[in-house]
Amino acid sequence: MSVVTGPSQRPEPDLSVIRASAEQDPGRTFYRAGDVLLVVEVVSPESRERDRKRKPSLYAEAGIPHFWIVENDSGRPVVHAYQLDEVTHSYVIIGIHHEILKTSVPFDVGIDLTEIDLL
């Protein structure tokens, strides 16, 4: 599902976590940035530049509070977690997770990354 981040800008994150109140229209094809709590991008060779540079910039400018990027480290996932700095409107790293993704922001979650198939 795409996210409207600005005029003529509707990137499609690999995963979005939205506010429950945003899921009222089953026919909708996009979410507004204000409805989104977290976006996740999984980097692949063909999306590397876009996922690492362009999309984070769009998401930050739109005010999406949390951004995770999943990188491939020798076939294993590594999750880089970022939080929006509201003063600079850019993301600051709040964690790098190799084997266990355990965080309390934007919500409590724990994921055993070693259980994920090779990337």
pLDDT of residue 24: 77
Indicate if the pLDDT at residue 59 is higher than 80: yes
Q: Name the percent of the chain lying above pLDDT 90.
A: 86
Q: Provide the β-strand partners of residue 96.
A: 80
Among 80, 51, 72, smallest CA distance to 117 is for: 72
Model-level pTM?
Answer: 0.92
Mean pLDDT value across residues 49-65 = 97
Alpha-carbon distance 62 to 71, whole Å?
23
Helix (H, G, I), strand (E, B) or coil at 3: strand
According to the model, what pLDDT value does residue 49 have? 94
